Amino acid sequence: MKYFPLVWAALCRKPAEAILIWLAVTVTFALFGLMVGLHATYDRLIENARMDRLYVNARFPSVSPTGVLLPFAVRDQIAHVGGVSAVSAVDYLVGYYQDPHRRATVLAVDEQMRKAWPELPLTGAQWDQLMATPSGVFMTRSRAASLGLKAGDSLHLITPSTLRFDGTPFWEFHILGLIPNMPDHESLIVGNLSYVDKSMPLARQGYAWEFRVAVRDAAKANDVSVRIDEELANSGAPTLTIPDKVSEIDAVNSSISVASKTWPVAIAGIFMILLLTANGIAQSVRERTTEFAVLKTIGFRHSTLVGLVLAEAAIPCVAGAGIGMGFAVLLISLPTHFLPTNLISIPKPTLSLGTFIVSLIFALLLALMGASIPLQRLRLLSVTDALAGR
């Protein structure tokens, strides 16, 4: 601590410049934390996805009243394909509760979903209750908390893009109970497909948005996918089948791949701050050559001067990294209704302890690299020349 006044004096030598560098470091590490956290999120999504779960969708979406939907009859054909252990029809009701900013989606499923997606956190008794209660739903605790609902309440869902048989977009569901949060499915609301289907216009009844399929052997998932599509290739509803894990990998690495851009964006920000920090430290050492010569003259060892320069570089970097990561935590905690509609589907970054540690390590490396050239100049410092003003 006895050297702190010297470090503090160096940092406050040009207050405006020091504050601007600190702010730049803070903003950069907020961006860095978000990018690293987002990359970790995509890695987790792929890791948690399963090969023994298939998605079956319409291969050729049309502009007909049924759009991208598949008839229920396809379910029985898929069930007879070798390697398939269960098939469930799925439909989605996308809308909002009370306010357009409070979005909610009901996943309407049939009886077979308990076998096709056994990871759903519903007990056998809850499945029986859901199938016996047409307008009943189960929702995760986090979804209920975000909507301000509890077991026994009614969920009045408004779906502007999906009208009922009477031409209205109003759906009333009764919350049967709350279920544990699922990783990557924290906003899950599970409803009864039979009720949803019978409430649709007549031309829309008997169709599902997709089918969820469970296969017996994950190693044969791709083969089963091909067989399902071949079975229905010449039917009135040709399909496109893909394993859950493959779907996640494609989503991460195709189209506008957010995941593939996270590291370049993060590294670009770090490189910019490296140049800024290195230039600031180099200028500081250059302008304080005489000061360092005096310190050497009165007995300061070279290692002590090195420590002073490293501290001058490390303090704004580490402080900026810590505060920047704090800002990143605040940003991901903002309600999703502040985001544009086309960004709602982007997962929230995972700002774990590991992400914080990585950020602090990068901050220290940044300080070390930024101070490397000034330290070389300090090593070659001639006390005589510096005191003589040469």
- The better pLDDT of the pair 48, 1 is held by 48
Instruction: Tell if the pTM clears 0.75, that is, is over it.
Output: no
Residue 330 CA to its chain's centroid (Å): 14
In this prediction, residue 225 carries a pLDDT of 93
Q: Do the bridges between strand 70-71 and strand 136-140 make them parallel or antiparallel, or are there none, so unpaired?
A: unpaired
d(CA 33, CA 104): 29
DSSP 43-111: HHHHHH--TTEEEEEESS--SSTTTT-EETHHHHHHHTSTTEEEEEEEEEEEEEESSTTSEEEEEEE-T
Look at residue 133 in the predicted model and tell me its pLDDT: 94
For the chain, which residues make up each domain, given as ranges?
A: 4-46+256-387, 60-237
Is pLDDT above 60 for 66? no
Identify the pLDDT of residue 83: 92
What does the pLDDT read at residue 2?
64
Which pLDDT band holds residue 125 (cuts at 50, 70, 90)?
A: very high
Secondary structure element (H or E) that encloses residue 210, with its range: strand 210-215
The region that residue 152 occupies, defined by phi over 0 for left and psi between -120 and 50 for alpha, beta otherwise, is left
Q: What is the mean pLDDT of residues 111-136?
A: 92
Contact (CB, 8 A) for 134 and 368: no
Residue pair 351/50 in contact (Cβ under 8 Å)? The answer is no
Please report the pLDDT score of residue 39 as a whole number. 75
Confidence (pLDDT) at 229: 92
290-336 pLDDT, tens per residue?
A: 776 777 777 778 777 777 777 777 888 888 888 888 888 777 766 55
Q: Dihedral (C-alpha) 325, 331, 332, 334: value to the nearest 10 degrees?
A: 150
Choose the weakest-confidence range: 84-88, 260-264, 362-366: 260-264
| Average pLDDT taken over every residue of the chain | 81
Report percent pLDDT > 70 for the chain. 83
Q: What integer pLDDT is reported at residue 334 of this predicted model?
A: 65
Q: Work out the average pLDDT over 228-248.
A: 87
- Pair of tokens at residue 81: 């394909």
* Model confidence pLDDT, tens digit, residues 188-198: 899 999 999 99
The tokens describing 303, both together, are 């290692």
Q: What is the rounded CA–CA span in Å between residue 172 and residue 175?
A: 10
Q: How far is CA 116 from CA 85, 246, 297, in A?
A: 8, 18, 79
Maximum average pLDDT range among 191-200, 233-242, 349-358: 191-200
Q: Please, are residues 229 and 238 in contact by the beta-carbon 8 Å criterion?
A: yes
The pair of structure tokens assigned to 167 is 């031409």
Q: Please report which confidence band the pLDDT of residue 3 belongs to, taking 50, 70 and 90 as the band edges.
A: low
CA–CA separation, 309 and 290 (whole Å): 15
Rounded CA-CA distance 29/33 in Å is 6
